[in-house]
């Protein structure tokens, strides 16, 4: 993007900042006293969910639209948007879900562009097409695929580079570097430069996406959902297989590389949070809420291990590839529902 284009895309944000400043200045005298909650909306709230496989909840079955090309988005019928909608309904808050267009494999640019589905099963439209003039709430998460997290996993794992990882898309960041040198690679100048470029791209595209939402649906509250934590602070927990499993949670990724994975994810979380703050959107910080439900937390894990069988089957079970399992889905749903309730009640 040219600097001129970047300047043009910041205009909606500037208008929103100005409007917020005017509103704040004019309403201070009428501020609600501390501790007073707003009333839940009386009417159903027109809502659109968007996102990638962590919103679609890849690996959980059954999936929506199984007889259509969109079925290859592998969007679970009971994904966390559906579960959060149910939680809110129990509290008397009704979401009128206009669409859930979350799709496995989605990059941030697929908010504007059509997405190619796997195995040549066609395309799905740009996710922005689901937004309407009357949409009042837009919720979801993207960024991990644009960052290239699967490429990072493949950089660190021989198994994911081989036949066992054939269904995991992407190539290693540097296929000439062996997986055993993963930590050293990401500590090198080349590894650092690659990661910085990817994170800068994620932030720029997220800000453009959030601004685009405000243009299409100017009355909508926007909620960006972060990713749950994958690697615990105590990585020795990752040296033991979960109950009923034979593979370690992160398969053959070297133990000394696990902190690198965690640092990358933490930086992604921070970039997402900054993008939301800059565009006056709300952020669900799942990373900080899921430290005891990582892939290495045994029976309490909310993340399926890299090579642990998920619920999805293509003639043989497909691994979770470090996506939320049902417990993780429920954790996502609770935090997303809580944030939506806060947003709609203010």
Q: Is 53 a catalytic residue?
A: yes
* Closest residue by Cα to residue 320 from 236, 237, 240, 228: 228
| Token output for 226 | 């972060």
Picking from 104, 96, 107, the residue whose alpha carbon sits closest to that of residue 79 is 104
- Can you tell me the distance from the alpha carbon of 319 to that of 62, in angstroms, rounded to the nearest whole number? 16
Q: How far is CA 203 from the centre of its chain?
A: 13
Residues 6+ apart with CB under 8 A from 45: 93, 94, 95, 96, 136, 137, 344
Q: Indicate which residue of 57, 140, 302, 323 is catalytic.
A: 323
165 is catalytic: no
Of residues 51, 105, 144, 165, which has the active-site annotation?
105
CB atoms under 10 Å from CB of 44, counted, come to 13
Known catalytic membership, residue 323: yes
Of 257, 265, 262, nearest to 177 (Cα)? Answer: 257
Instruction: Please provide the size of the chain in residues.
Output: 346
80 is catalytic: no
Q: Are 60 and 304 in contact (CB under 8 A)?
A: no
Please report how the helices 189-216 and 258-278 are oriented relative to each other, as an axis angle in degrees rounded to 10.
30
Alpha carbon distance 1, 171 (integer Å): 25
The DSSP bridge partners found for residue 317 are: 313
Q: Catalytic one among 64, 79, 102, 145?
A: 145
Residues labelled catalytic: 53, 105, 145, 323
């Amino acid at each position: 993007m040219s600097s001129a284009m970047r300047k043009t895309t910041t205009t909606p944000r500037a208008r929103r900042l100005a409007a917020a400043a005017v509103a704040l200045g004019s309403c201070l005298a009428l501020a609600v006293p501390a501790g007073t909650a707003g009333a839940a909306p009386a009417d159903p709230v027109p809502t659109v969910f968007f996102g990638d496989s962590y919103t679609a909840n890849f690996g959980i079955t059954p999936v929506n639209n199984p007889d259509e090309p969109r079925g290859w988005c592998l969007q679970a019928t009971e994904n966390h948007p559906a579960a959060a909608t149910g939680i809110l309904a129990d509290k008397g808050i009704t979401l009128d879900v206009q669409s859930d267009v979350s799709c496995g494999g989605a990059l941030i640019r697929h908010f504007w562009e059509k997405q190619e589905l796997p195995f040549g099963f066609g395309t799905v439209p740009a996710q922005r097409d689901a937004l309407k003039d009357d949409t009042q709430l837009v919720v979801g998460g993207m960024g991990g695929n644009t960052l290239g997290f699967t490429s990072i996993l493949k950089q660190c794992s021989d198994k994911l580079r081989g036949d066992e990882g054939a269904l995991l898309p992407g190539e290693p960041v540097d296929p000439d570097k062996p997986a055993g040198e993963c930590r050293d690679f990401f500590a090198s100048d080349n590894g650092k430069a690659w990661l910085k470029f990817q994170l800068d791209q994620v932030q720029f595209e997220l800000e453009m996406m959030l601004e685009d939402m405000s243009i299409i649906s100017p009355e909508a509250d926007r909620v960006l959902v972060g990713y749950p934590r994958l690697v615990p602070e105590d990585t020795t927990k990752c040296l033991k297989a979960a109950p009923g499993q034979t593979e370690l949670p992160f398969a053959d990724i070297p133990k000394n590389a696990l902190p690198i994975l965690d640092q990358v994810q933490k930086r992604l979380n921070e970039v997402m949070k900054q993008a939301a703050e800059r565009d006056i959107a709300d952020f669900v910080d799942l990373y900080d809420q899921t430290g005891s439900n990582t892939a290495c937390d045994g029976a309490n894990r909310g993340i399926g291990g890299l090579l642990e069988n998920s619920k999805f089957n293509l003639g043989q079970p497909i691994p979770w590839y470090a996506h939320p399992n049902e417990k993780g889905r429920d954790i996502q749903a609770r935090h997303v529902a809580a944030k939506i309730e806060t947003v709609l009640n203010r």
